[in-house]
Structure 1
Amino acid sequence: MKVVTSAAVHTISRKSYHANSVSQWTNLLIVILFAGYSLLCLIPVLLVLIVSFSDEQSITLHGYSFYPSRWSVEAYLYLFRDGITIARAYGATITATVLGTAVGLLMTASFAFPLSKPDFKYRNIFAFYAFFTLLFNGGLVPWYIVFSKYLKLGNTIWALILPGLLMNAFYVMLIRTFYQSSIPVEIYESAQIDGANEIRVFVQIVIPLSLPVLTTIGLFYTLAYWNDWNNSMIFQSRDQFISLQYLMNRTLLNLQYLLQNNQAAAQAQVDFPGESVRMAMAIAGIGPILFAYPFFQKYLVKGLTVGAVKG
């Protein structure tokens, strides 16, 4: 009996060692594949960065290249020739992004909290109200009249924050699902027994336990505000509170007009770097937002999977 037991243990140990070896090779293969995929994703960004520092004539003669024949900063000099306007656009975009993300995330999380509680009497009514806005809207003209004529948001920083971006019904449903699937009801009951009211439960219990989904939704809000240019085009008639993306788009349109105009075409091809400016605008637009990803990466996958898959 003792011999059989030792042989069995030896067999199990060999199988376990073989399984661990296979697992290590599998993990190594996965790491190599994802590392290669990550490099492939970085190559276009690197190419855009190199082209933005390339001479316009070398781009015309040889096309896009990782090894340009001549380097130049003319694209950035042209792009930032009006430094005050660029700085003002950066300030307006950063302000709208920070305020819009903070207020929108607070409103979304607060609205989703009562919808996740089965004892809330009117939760179906409010849930239908939120879901209805995903399918229907009043149209562009009524939307513009409400914000410009009645709320007086034209040419203000609030025109970059409130219209269309402050609250998203899909995010409300996502956070509500996270509350229902990840926070046990017993925690609410225990807090109520200890005398905590709804506000205290939400601030001290729900929010700390919901960091994954809140961080994920915060990233979505941040990207939406940073990339928005539509509100600036509709509500801003002066350059005081225009967003960076709208300024980049307007610069690109002006450049295309100069390059395509018959009278200015010859002068534009010499004085204005066309292709390199496009790439410089891409770098100027995406550069600052890249620094936000490391702060959200820890919770991004967990927030998406737990809040969206379960339900």
Structure 2
Amino acid sequence: MNSVKLSKGDRIFDVINYALLTIVLIVVLYPLYFVVIASVSNPTFVNNGSMALWPKGFMLDGYRKVFEYADVWVGYRNTIFYTIFGTALNVIITLGIAYTLSRKHFLGKGALMAYILFPMFFSGGLIPTFLIVKKIGLYNTPLAMIIIGAINIFNVIIARTYIQGTIPEELFESAQIDGCNHFTYFFRIILPLSISIIAVLALYYGVEHWNDFFNSLIYLSNKSLFSLQLVLRGILIQSNVQADMLEAEDMVRRQYEAELLKYALIIVTSLPILIVYPFMQKYFVKGVMVGSVKG
């Protein structure tokens, strides 16, 4: 079988294209690689810029110090809890609303959609939200991290578009003939056929919960409920606080420990998401494409 012969212009284009893509790949991956090697290098070499491609003064003291803090394990436990149950609630509510909005004969669909879209452009603000959360008894409770932000309008639109564009309306009409109501149709047909969009939503919401720092900072004051992000922030602050009140030798030691912890904290925080993301990437891309096809 004869292969297509590329012209000189095509070959030049391919070379330039591959060169540019290689540069982009290096620009994207090098910061992550630098953080990894810096986390196992002596902070002295990191700070003076002598470490660029390979670890220098290999050491795991940063990780050792991070995991010496009992609060880190508490933060991990809390964040895993918030991520699992928060994501489950997010996906259930989002798919329920998306299915409702995807029904052609649902009365008031336009008004409901307008009501849902309104908060995308206008919000009550932080102080009114905080006062409401405190008044209804969610302040300083795990439910505050799960219920607040339980719905994302953008994700609702993606899920509705997927259901409308992927699952034909005739399927519901056939199910109705067999005596299927909306609840049965949703749980027995829509959900099994929506595995892709469920994976997309779980990834979106899961990353959001895992990286959640602001809600934990605002709505939690009990250290036993802090998320991992807030715990790690506390460790960094603790390593840097009152440095100007210490003697020179103690100040240098404190700054050394802070640098030692900084990169290890980044790895500890990001590693679970970095492990999960490659397995979800194809669904992530599909979700973006689904949301870009229709409004």
Measure how far apart 1:262 and its partner are: 4.4
Q: What residue is the counterpart of 1:308 in the other structure?
A: 292
Q: 1:139 aligns with which of 125, 130, 143?
A: 125
Change (3 A) 1:135 1:264: farther
**Would you say the 8 A contact 2:159–2:197 is kept in 1?**
yes
Change (3 A) 1:291 1:62: closer
Q: 2:246 aligns with which of 237, 240, 263?
A: 263
Unaligned runs of 5+ in 2: none
Residue 113 in structure 1 maps to residue 99 in structure 2: yes
Q: Measure, in 2, the Cα distance between the counterparts of 1:139 and 1:40.
A: 37
Greater CA drift, 222-231 or 243-252: 243-252
TM-score (norm 2): 0.87
Measure how far apart 1:208 and its partner are: 2.2
Residue 235 in structure 1 maps to residue 219 in structure 2: yes
Change (3 A) 1:104 1:48: same
Q: What residue is the counterpart of 2:174 in the other structure?
A: 190
Residue 49 in structure 1 maps to residue 32 in structure 2: no
Residue 170 in structure 1 maps to residue 154 in structure 2: yes
Q: Measure, in 2, the Cα distance between the counterparts of 1:307 and 1:235.
A: 32
Greater CA drift, 33-42 or 84-93: 33-42
Measure how far apart 1:19 and its partner are: 7.2
Change (3 A) 1:203 1:31: farther
Residue 79 in structure 1 maps to residue 66 in structure 2: yes
Amino acid at match of 1:296: M
What SS does structure 2 have at the residue aligned with 1:18?
coil
**Would you say the 8 A contact 2:158–2:287 is kept in 1?**
no
Q: Measure, in 2, the Cα distance between the counterparts of 1:124 and 1:265.
A: 67
Q: Measure, in 1, the Cα distance between the counterparts of 2:251 and 2:209.
A: 33
Q: What residue is the counterpart of 1:212 in the other structure?
A: 196
Q: Measure, in 2, the Cα distance between the counterparts of 1:308 and 1:68.
A: 42
CA-to-partner distance for each residue in 1:31-86, whole Å, 9 max, x for gaps?
A: 8976775455333222111111111233344454333441222322332222x211
Q: Measure, in 2, the Cα distance between the counterparts of 1:168 and 1:233.
A: 20
Measure how far apart 1:214 and its partner are: 2.2
Q: Measure, in 2, the Cα distance between the counterparts of 1:189 and 1:57.
A: 69
Greater CA drift, 248-257 or 285-294: 248-257
Q: What residue is the counterpart of 1:289 in the other structure?
A: 273
Alignment root-mean-square deviation, CA: 2.8
Q: Measure, in 1, the Cα distance between the counterparts of 2:154 and 2:247.
A: 48
Q: Measure, in 1, the Cα distance between the counterparts of 2:105 and 2:265.
A: 52
Q: What residue is the counterpart of 2:115 in the other structure?
A: 129
Higher-Rg structure is: 1
Q: 1:154 aligns with which of 139, 144, 150?
A: 139
Q: Measure, in 2, the Cα distance between the counterparts of 1:219 and 1:71.
A: 34
Amino acid at match of 1:182: T
Amino acid at match of 1:132: F
**Would you say the 8 A contact 2:91–2:202 is kept in 1?**
yes
**Would you say the 8 A contact 1:114–1:120 is kept in 2?**
yes
Measure how far apart 1:266 and its partner are: 3.5
Measure how far apart 1:108 and its partner are: 0.4
Q: Measure, in 2, the Cα distance between the counterparts of 1:42 and 1:54.
A: 18
Amino acid at match of 2:133: F
Measure how far apart 1:212 and its partner are: 2.1
- Matched-pair identity in %: 32
CA-to-partner distance for each residue in 1:240-291, whole Å, 9 max, x for gaps?
A: 11000111122222333344x2435531322542323211111011011222
Amino acid at match of 1:59: V
TM-score (norm 1): 0.83
Change (3 A) 1:39 1:208: farther
What SS does structure 1 have at the residue aligned with 2:4?
helix
Measure how far apart 1:127 and its partner are: 0.6
Change (3 A) 1:233 1:293: same
Residue 251 in structure 1 maps to residue 202 in structure 2: no
